[in-house]
């Protein structure tokens, strides 16, 4: 699991997560950064910068693998940052996030005083509590360390909480839940994950994922269809122009070509959606879809999200087309 990227997204989208971990009300104006200290090529997972120099700067690190030199590196990064940016804050605190206690290094020497001081807060995700009781930001963290067998149920629970609780930016939380599950179940498509989370067909159509995919496919299909239609229209126009007069023939041919191009573009959108869901589309099925009228193609586009296999597409065509 690409946890560094995942936690970066979580902190960037929901910076109050750090303060939920600390049990504090989130102050206003904090900015989250991932900072590279170029003199040593050190990179800190997260730095929460206060809005003015009187505030506290927070250093956050996610550590999922045991590293017996971790604190040596972590405190070196912190003190280098303090030296370089001392004018931007009045105090500092560090937070390290572990999946469990076994991931922490064995010996703290010679940093034991710092490790056990108020300067450092160590968080063990498996000890945070139940998903039902945790704030959604912390529940998202805990979701990353659940066993695969428990994740679908837990993810559905968090998705349902996102729907019914008055949470800020629910679309961001839903996107993060989906991303976490995708990291665990790499063979599932995003659409399959959304369905696993309990999305209905109508809810799925309103997701950013569906709208982006459909818009992209529609644009590609329309471009392809218009190009083919214009080519056909020009050819037809030239042929008709020789018989009926060049100007009239070109005009009629272009109109026909544009209509055909739009129809082919809509069909290309539907075919692309079917390939994303079911893989390859048989030639005979593709040919039947390309022969549909614009109204029939639009109806098929509405219906396809309810299909579970290609047989359902054939059945729809037999009864509706």
Give residue-wise pLDDT tens across range 250-282: 556 555 555 565 567 677 777 877 777 777 888
All structural domains of the chain with their residue ranges: 1-127, 130-199, 208-320
Q: Domain 1-127, CATH 3.40.1350 — does that match? A: yes
The pTM for the full model equals 0.59
Is pLDDT above 90 for 75? yes
Q: Are 11 and 194 in contact (CB under 8 A)?
A: no
- Residue 33: phi and psi, rounded to 5, are -135, 150
Least confident of 32-36, 231-235, 253-257: 253-257
Residue-wise pLDDT tens digits, 143-190: 988 888 898 899 889 988 988 888 878 888 888 888 888 888 877 777
Residue-by-residue DSSP string for 16-77: HHHHHHHT-PPPTT-EEEEEEETTTTEEEEEEEE-SSTTSEEEEEEE--S--TTHHHHHHHH
CA angle 145, 149, 150 (to 5 degrees): 60
Instruction: Give pLDDT, residue 113.
Output: 94
């Amino acid at each position: 699991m690409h946890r560094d990227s995942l936690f970066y997204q979580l902190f960037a989208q929901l910076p109050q997560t750090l303060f939920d971990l600390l049990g504090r009300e989130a102050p206003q104006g904090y900015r989250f950064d991932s900072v590279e200290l170029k003199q040593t090529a050190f990179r800190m997972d997260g730095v929460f910068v206060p809005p003015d120099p009187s505030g506290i700067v927070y250093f956050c690190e996610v550590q999922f693998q045991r590293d017996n030199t971790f604190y040596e590196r972590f405190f070196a990064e912190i003190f280098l940052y303090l030296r370089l940016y001392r004018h931007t804050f009045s105090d500092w605190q560090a937070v390290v996030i572990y999946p469990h206690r076994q991931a922490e290094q064995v010996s703290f020497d010679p940093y034991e005083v710092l490790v056990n001081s108020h300067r450092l807060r160590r968080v063990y995700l498996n000890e945070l509590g139940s998903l039902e009781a945790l704030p959604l930001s912390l529940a998202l963290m805990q979701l990353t360390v659940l066993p695969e067998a428990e994740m679908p149920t837990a993810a559905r629970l968090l998705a349902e909480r996102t729907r019914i609780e008055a949470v800020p930016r629910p679309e961001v939380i839903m996107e993060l839940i989906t991303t976490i599950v995708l990291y665990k179940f790499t063979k599932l498509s995003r659409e399959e994950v959304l369905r696993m989370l309990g999305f209905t067909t109508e809810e799925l159509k309103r997701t950013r994922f569906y709208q982006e995919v459909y818009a992209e496919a529609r644009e590609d299909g329309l471009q392809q269809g218009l190009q083919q239609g214009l080519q056909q229209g020009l050819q037809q126009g030239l042929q008709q122009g020789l018989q009926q007069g060049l100007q009239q023939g070109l005009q009629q041919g272009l109109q026909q070509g544009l209509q055909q191009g739009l129809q082919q573009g809509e069909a290309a959108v539907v075919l692309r959606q079917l390939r994303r869901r079911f893989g390859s589309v048989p030639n005979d099925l593709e040919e039947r879809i390309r022969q549909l009228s614009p109204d029939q193609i639009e109806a098929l586009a509405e219906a396809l999200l309810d299909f579970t296999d290609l047989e359902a597409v054939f059945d729809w065509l037999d009864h509706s087309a």
